[in-house]
Structure 1
Amino acid sequence: MTYCVGLFLDDGLVMLADTRTNAGVDNISSFAKLQVFSTPGDRMIATMTAGSLAVSQAVMNLIQEGVQDPETGETATIYTVPSMFRAASLVGEAVRQVYRTHGKAMQEHGLSFDVSILLGGQLHGRTVRLFQIYSAGNFIEATGDTPFLQIGEHKYGKPILDRAVTSETNLIDGIKLALISMDSTLRSNLSVGLPMDLLVYRKDHLEGPSLRRITEDDEYFLMLRKRWSEAISEAHRQIPQPDWGF
């Protein structure tokens, strides 16, 4: 299992992913789920993946090697698409191509064709956009009214985002809220685990994003999770008691 979250803010993007792909008593493995496809000055595109590792790796390889458009016959890569919408379409077609190649064999072996992808970024002269691509290759887009998207084990980290994130949230507060969302998931589900990868992209800064790997001994993250736990405990103590005669 995994948890990935992308915040679509007026100032840019915050994208955060854990790295756990398998969990058990004695079987834990980690793979980076955040990938960046960047050409300085021209484009910054990033993906985060959840679901089958084999499927997601095949899709990531295809979008770099090239995918043929079924309507035009032209071959495009993540480095040549002219817009973020076309980038989302490219990833969707790559998902369908992987399904055509491996879907039947996976089903025969009792394996689910399960993949979901967050795709965010900006091309020169265009706006920042954030998409979620599904296993069928279709996709939705984040908007000002829905300024975040999640994939994987998202239910534990969603309440804080629902309450606190708006499109006007600045990037620094976005980082804090994404980390709190991740911490809530880490505490409630053992199949999501550290380290995690953080990407922060400021709108129109096409020279590239800021990246950070956050490990279990990261001082800021340790402070944040401690302060958040203390703040929740203090907040519920400060709420007046119910006058219900108990």
Structure 2
Amino acid sequence: MTYAVALRLEHGLVFAADTRTNAGIDNIAQYRKLQLWCIEGDRVLVLLGSGNLALTQSVVSLLDEAMAAEPSEGVATLLNAPNMYRAARVVGDALREGRRIDGAALEASKLGFSASFIFGGQIKGERPRLFQIYPEGNFIEATDDTPFLQIGEHKYGKPILDRVARADMRLGEAAKLMLLSFDSTLRSNLSVGMPIDVLIYERDSFNVTRGKRVGADDEYFRNLSSAWSEALRQAVSKIEEFKV
């Protein structure tokens, strides 16, 4: 399974995704679930995938094939989409194409068609935008009221985001918050695992210079986890006990 999350902020975008995939308790592996396309000075596009790994990889391959093909008038790709809405439509169309190719076989095998994405970035001429793309290929967009989107095993990491996430957060502060949501998820769900790929995009930079793979031996993450556990214990001890 997967946990992936992204925040759309006034100062830019922050993305994070785990790398664990499994087909049973004895078949666990690591795969990068964060994809980046960048035309410096024009656009930065980031895609986080969740669900059946073969399907999410197929969608990425379809997107790459379209971009590598000879330009054709009227054919939209991530390279020529005029805005983020149109780029999100390109991803949704690729997901529908993946369903057309593999959907019937998966339904016949009772596995079902399971693939969803978070897609975000900035194309020159508009502000950064963030979308959640459903298995059917349609999507919703993050707003100032709800600046974060999650896919996969999101329920354990959602409460802290609901309480703390704000559109005016600093990028580093938002990355810290997202790693705390991962810490909660890792403690409660074995299908999500490290390392975690983190990418920070600064608004109007049209380039990516801040990204890191956070492993189990990462000193910052270990200190973050310990400090958060201690802070929670202290907070609980300071709250008045329940009395009947």
User: What TM bracket, shorter-length normalisation?
Assistant: over 0.9
Q: In 1, Cα distance between the equivalents of 2:56 and 2:243?
A: 54
Q: For residue 131 of structure 1, what is the aligned residue in structure 2? A: 131
Question: After the TM superposition, which residues 63-82 of structure 1 pair with which residues of structure 2 at under 5 Å, given as runs?
Answer: 63-66=63-66, 74-82=74-82
Q: For residue 181 of structure 1, what is the aligned residue in structure 2? A: 181
1:17 and 2:17 aligned: yes
Paired amino acid for 1:21: T
Q: How much does 1:154 deviate?
A: 0.3
Q: In 1, Cα distance between the equivalents of 2:23 and 2:190?
A: 7
Question: After the TM superposition, which residues 7-86 of structure 1 pair with which residues of structure 2 at under 5 Å, given as runs?
Answer: 7-22=7-22, 24-66=24-66, 74-86=74-86
Tell me, yes or no, if the aligned pair for 1:35 and 1:48 is still in contact at 8 Å.
Answer: yes
Question: After the TM superposition, which residues 68-147 of structure 1 pair with which residues of structure 2 at under 5 Å, given as runs?
Answer: 74-147=74-147
What is the percentage of aligned positions where both structures have the same residue? Answer: 50
Q: In 2, Cα distance between the equivalents of 1:116 and 1:146?
A: 19
Q: In 2, Cα distance between the equivalents of 1:127 and 1:209?
A: 19
Tell me, yes or no, if the aligned pair for 1:194 and 1:214 is still in contact at 8 Å.
Answer: yes
1:202 and 2:202 aligned: yes
Q: How many residues align?
A: 240
Q: How much does 1:112 deviate?
A: 1.1
Q: In 2, Cα distance between the equivalents of 1:217 and 1:231?
A: 22
SS in 1 for 2:242: coil
Q: Which runs of 5+ in 1 are unaligned?
A: none
Q: How much does 1:109 deviate?
A: 1.9
Tell me, yes or no, if the aligned pair for 2:200 and 2:208 is still in contact at 8 Å.
Answer: no
Tell me, yes or no, if the aligned pair for 1:23 and 1:190 is still in contact at 8 Å.
Answer: no
Q: For residue 237 of structure 1, what is the aligned residue in structure 2? A: 237
Q: In 2, Cα distance between the equivalents of 1:86 and 1:53?
A: 25
TM-score w.r.t. length of structure 1? 0.94
SS in 2 for 1:190: coil
Q: Which runs of 5+ in 2 are unaligned?
A: none
Paired amino acid for 2:167: S
Please tell me the root mean square deviation across aligned C-alpha atoms, in Å: 1.5
